A and B are shown apart, each in its own frame.
Chain A
Amino acid sequence: MSNNEKKRLVSRKDMTMAQWTWKEMKRNKVAYIMCAPFFLLFFVFTVLPVALSIFFSFTEFNMLEPPKWVGFDNYIHLFLEDDIFVIACKNTLIFAAITGPVSYLMSFLVAWFINELSPKIRAVVTLIFYAPSISGSVYMVWTILFSSDSYGYVNGTLLELNIIDSPIMFFQNADYVMPLCIVVALWTSLGTAFLSFIAGLQTVDRSQYEAGAVDGIKNRWQELWYITLPTMRPQLMFGAVLAITGAFGFGAVVTALCGMPSVDYAAHTIMHHLDDYGGIRFEVGYASAIAVFLFLIMLGCNLVIKKLLSKVGQ
């Protein structure tokens, strides 16, 4: 094997790039076989639809007639003429700027806090924090807690204590809708990223901590910054991508809580705008343009976070 390796390295200079690549591809045939099932399905059911959507974003398409090429019309309309889109953008940014970082930090900190507990206790605490996100539509409990009649727990209690005279219509009041949705979003946000942080923390090699102590690490915060975080970079990146997609893609729960459109568009996000045009009006071209725009925003966030994470531990 090592002999082969040497021969290969020597002969590389004599080959063109294409020859070299081809040789490497043949050498790694088994890697392509391992990738094949996933990427075959992935290209058919994910890449192809995305490519189609990007194409549709330059057309007028209603699923019935063939798409009609309109160039950048959808985008121009989106930015210049669509007032509700502006509201949606503003709401999305507020929503994402709060829920993204908070859920990310909360997932990591809780995972880190419970890392030193004994395994049994850790399992129980993990369950408590993870249960809301795994339990399907259990977030509907918030509509009972904040129900708009006096039987709702919050209204009932406030009435009982004479703080208010009549029940507050929490999910129909533009002042309450957004904060409530943020709370519910955070409540369900300790999901996959949280679990992967817990698992990632467990796989940090303990001897590194010991070596760190010898090298003069003084407290848990230094240990976190210089040892734990750098070794967890793959998980941190994974969690960040999920936090971004979660924060920008959080629409279904809002719809379930406040209806669509929400009162005065108070919790109307880009996602809702997209669902509105894609799922209700079947203006596929326009909906695709919104999706492409959302995609670009998320991409930008992803790049920024990648930059930030590369500074960890320095």
Chain B
Amino acid sequence: MSKKLRTRHHKVVLNRSAGGDAGITFLLVILGAFMFLPMLYVIMQSLKPLDELWMFPPRFYVMSPTLGNFGDLFSLMNDSWVPFSRYIFNTVFITACGTFGNLIVASLAAYALAKMKFPGRNFLFQIVVLSLMFHQTVNQLSNFIIMSTLGMVDTYLAIIVPALAGTMGLYLMKQFMESSVADSVLESARLDGASEFRIFLTIAMPMVKPAWLTLLIESFKTLWNTGASIYIHSEELKTFNYAINQVVTAGVQRAGASAAATVVMMIVPITVFVLSQSQIIETMGSSGMKD
């Protein structure tokens, strides 16, 4: 079906020059190599035995690949004082609550801001954009005061609750609601007596699926990579990212385990991204059919 669309696209519309196509492909290959090769190197490093990690001259590719580094990493993890399953649980719990919570809370507000004309909406939206430009380090100190007043310091809430109101998510959803949800569709649903919540769920959200998949993946990425936080000091509440970095920062002999840790940390968000991409591809296919 995608093929049909593409040919149709070419026949009806495009005056694409072969030179332009070639130039673009060339640029993409160069940029793609710049992006991909360091990632490939990380994976190579994680598969190299220790003597290959410290070999002169260094090789890009691994010669005798081994999973030993991952073995080392897992045995290091087993030795830790707090069981590693606890760190994993913390990260998964924080990430799941924060990501889905952010999606719901931000999308609801974005829908209202983009599609309902109520007094104050411009003002509210403008502060959200402004707040994106204020640096977090300074806010952390004020936030610490606020959180200790609310009794949230050293609980999961300290990470999850602020993540729910992630401003980037709201901004993203609002922009997409504005550009991709037609007012006429909403108006006719309103005339049929549908409530705003219903319109939001059944009409607006399906139309901006690519946007909220983007929000999910971004929110996931941020929370998954949550490291040491000034709001959390109990060891049992710390995250996987923090713990795995503690384990592998011990110099030369742990270089292999460290490379393995990087791979472990990156595999999860990449998998989530690939899953969400397959969703996006499906959505694109069906929305392409409509016109």
Contact = CB atoms under 8 A, between A and B. Distances in A.
- Which residue, of B13, B167, B265, has the highest number of chain A Cβ atoms within 10 A? B13
Contact of B56 (A48, A116, A156, A242): A156
B146 A48 contact: yes
- Which residue, of A39, A48, A109, A271, has the highest number of chain B Cβ atoms within 10 A? A39
Contacts of B170: 38, 42
Contacts of A46: 131, 139, 162, 165, 167
Given A35-B112, A144-B41, A199-B214, A134 B142 contact: no
Contacts of B90: none
Nearest to B207: A203
Interface string B261-291: 0100110011001100110110011011001
A302 B178 CA distance: 20
B79 to A, nearest CB: 22
Contact of B270 (A131, A160, A218, A238): A131
A284 B38 contact: no
Interface string A119-146: 1101101111111101111101110110
Contacts of A275: 137
Interface string B130-141: 111111011111
A145 B127 CA distance: 42
A136 B224 contact: yes
Nearest to B169: A38
Contacts of A170: none
By secondary structure, the B interface counts as helix
A44 interface: yes
A244 B129 CA distance: 12
A310 interface: no
A313 interface: no
Interface in B1-28: 2-3, 5-6, 9, 12-17, 20, 24, 27-28
A275 B135 CA distance: 10
B234 interface: no
Contacts of B274: 123, 127
By secondary structure, the A interface counts as helix
Nearest to B32: A128
Interface in B161-203: 161-162, 164-165, 167-168, 170-172, 175-176, 178-180, 190-191, 195-197, 200
A130 B164 contact: no
B179 A128 contact: no
A28 interface: yes
B214 A47 contact: no
Given A129-B31, A220-B20, A196 B138 contact: no
Contacts of B213: 199
A137 B58 contact: no
A30 B131 CA distance: 25
B119 interface: yes
B39 interface: yes
B178 A234 contact: yes
Interface in A88-143: 106, 109-110, 113-114, 116, 118-120, 122-123, 125-132, 134-138, 140-142
A235 B179 CA distance: 8
A166 interface: no
Given A132-B38, A203-B210, A116 B6 contact: yes
A192 B214 contact: yes
A153 B20 CA distance: 35
A196 B177 CA distance: 12
Contacts of A63: 141
B222 to A, nearest CB: 10
B135 A295 contact: yes
Interface stretch (B67-75, B81-89, B102-110): B102-110
Given A119-B2, A153-B60, A288-B138, A134 B15 contact: no
